[in-house]
Structure 1
Amino acid sequence: MLAGGIWEALLTTAAGMAVAIPATMALSWLESVCDRLAHDFEDLGTRVFLARDTAAPQYRAAAE
């Protein structure tokens, strides 16, 4: 009877690990994709604002 309880505990632990390990891997992959996208958007925003600042004197000179 004791061995049956230990077997059940080991079996449920293995089933839990079989679910938890792939879920953790998927979460890690998804977080890396989100971090990469956030970095790309920040880089794009910086490039847009810097390009606007460097082009602004040309437009200001033409408007004056």
Structure 2
Amino acid sequence: LDVPGDCAFVGCDGLMLGELMDPPLTTLHVDKRQVGRAAVEQIAALVQGRGPLAERVIVPRLVVRGSA
């Protein structure tokens, strides 16, 4: 099969390794710093007895490369 002619692939981890593939892998990039910050804030709130914080949505960014 030919990629992306016959089929297309999209990763969902945002790893830079996708750039090294042939063709380069299209991916959803998630800002890991935002995820880490949200996790630390949630843990701090729980430890301080404030209960869980409101839901936070971290929107991924589509990085289009050669596989889509």
Q: Same fold (TM over 0.5)?
A: no
Q: Which has the higher contact order (CA 8 A, sep 6+)?
A: 2
Larger Cα-atom Rg = 1
- Of Structure 1 and Structure 2, the greater helix share is in 1
